[in-house]
Amino acid sequence: MRVLITGAAGQVGTALTQGAPDWAEVIALGSHQLDVSDEAAVSTTLSRLKPRLVINAAAYTAVDRAEAEEQRAGEINGLALGYLGAAAARIGAPVFHISTDYVFSGYATEPYVEIAQPGPRSAYGRGKLAGELQLARSCREHVILRTSWVFSAHGSNFVKTMLRLGRERPELRVVADQLGGPTPADSIAAALWQLAQCWRQGEGSEFQWGIYHFSGSPISSWHGFASEIFSQAYARGILSTVPEVLAITTAEFPTPAERPAYSVLDCTKLKDTFAIEQPDWRTGLSRVLDEIKGA
């Protein structure tokens, strides 16, 4: 079955390509091969390739830069989903898309369920929410998988940044009052392929389209995440010392984009509907560090 992956060179795009099942004939297009914000290119590419399924891993992910480039971020994270949805609907292909915990305000005190009221606090979050709405409007057969704090051995992410800073500095200050679920990119890819497999097996019967939450457990702060990264990296000999990690507040580390203080996703719906469990991010971190060490 032909599956088109857009944004294929990113963290999740790479993991999707690497983890593709045998039944999938993957066509992986990076940003230079298909710009998802180019409506005509999206339309032509989908009608030419005629995939049976589209997985969109393309996104504008520079959360802070998006504050100054909201229009461009909105074209890629928002409008493009309308283009992809419409083009996919024309050829009868479902679209699997990835969204974010940043569609929420972060003012909650309990994990966010899928039907919780969104309230993005950043340009990135607003663009991603617009993309969810664009996709839902343009293509009935869609899955939106909201995830959080993505990391892998590939590309830029918090793990890579901490390893670099851990080599450079004996002491680091890391935010401890934002809570969320770090999520390995390979676990997101595995969940998407499992969903694709469920859809494929059940073709003809009613698939439960819609929004699902998927993030790693247990809940952590960035400080807790950093501490685990240093401990595991030291144990593997990736770092020769463990830097001291000082807990600071968000107010002590101002950034252009406001981030949700509490962005914990309730992942029960995905488990109840498709038996897809939350991954333990600490195990995912071990895999990533092993990969970094072996590279």
Ligand X SMILES: NC(=O)c1ccc[n+]([C@@H]2O[C@H](COP(=O)([O-])OP(=O)(O)OC[C@H]3O[C@@H](n4cnc5c(N)ncnc54)[C@H](OP(=O)(O)O)[C@@H]3O)[C@@H](O)[C@H]2O)c1
Active site residue ranges: 124
Specify whether the CB–CB gap between 8 and 28 falls below 8 A.
yes
Residue 139 CB, nearest approach to ligand X (Å): 16
Specify whether the CB–CB gap between 96 and 56 falls below 8 A.
yes
Q: Which of 4, 5, 12, 135 forms a contact with ligand X (CB under 6 A)? A: 12
Residue 3 CB, nearest approach to ligand X (Å): 16
Residues 221-250 close enough to bind ligand X by CB under 6 A: none
Q: Which of 31, 231, 250, 286 forms a contact with ligand X (CB under 6 A)? A: 31
Nearer of residues 158 and 209 to ligand X, judged by Cβ: 158
Distance CA 289, CA 295 (A): 10
Residues 53-92 close enough to bind ligand X by CB under 6 A: 57-61, 76
Residues 117-156 close enough to bind ligand X by CB under 6 A: 128, 147-150, 155
Count of C-beta atoms within a 10 Å radius of residue 275:
9
Residue 72 CB, nearest approach to ligand X (Å): 9
Count of C-beta atoms within a 10 Å radius of residue 263:
26
Amino acid at 206: E
Nearer of residues 12 and 136 to ligand X, judged by Cβ: 12
Count of C-beta atoms within a 10 Å radius of residue 18:
12
Residue 205 CB, nearest approach to ligand X (Å): 28
Which one of 2-10, 86-94, 170-178, 230-238 is the stretch in contact with ligand X (CB under 6 A)?
2-10
Question: What six digits make up the tokens of 72?
Answer: 């461009």
Q: Which of 10, 51, 78, 82 forms a contact with ligand X (CB under 6 A)? A: 10
Note the helical H segments in 96-182.
Answer: 123-138, 158-168
- Minimal CA–CA distance to 36: which of 143, 127, 151? 127
Distance CA 251, CA 182 (A): 21
Q: Outline where DSSP puts E strands in 108-258.
A: 142-147, 150-151, 171-175, 179-180, 183-184, 210-213, 220-221, 244-248
Residue 108 CB, nearest approach to ligand X (Å): 17
Q: Which of 17, 37, 187, 227 forms a contact with ligand X (CB under 6 A)? A: 37
265 binds ligand X (CB under 6 A): no
Residues at the interface with ligand X (CB under 6 A): 6-7, 9-13, 31, 34-37, 57-61, 76, 98, 100, 128, 147-150, 155
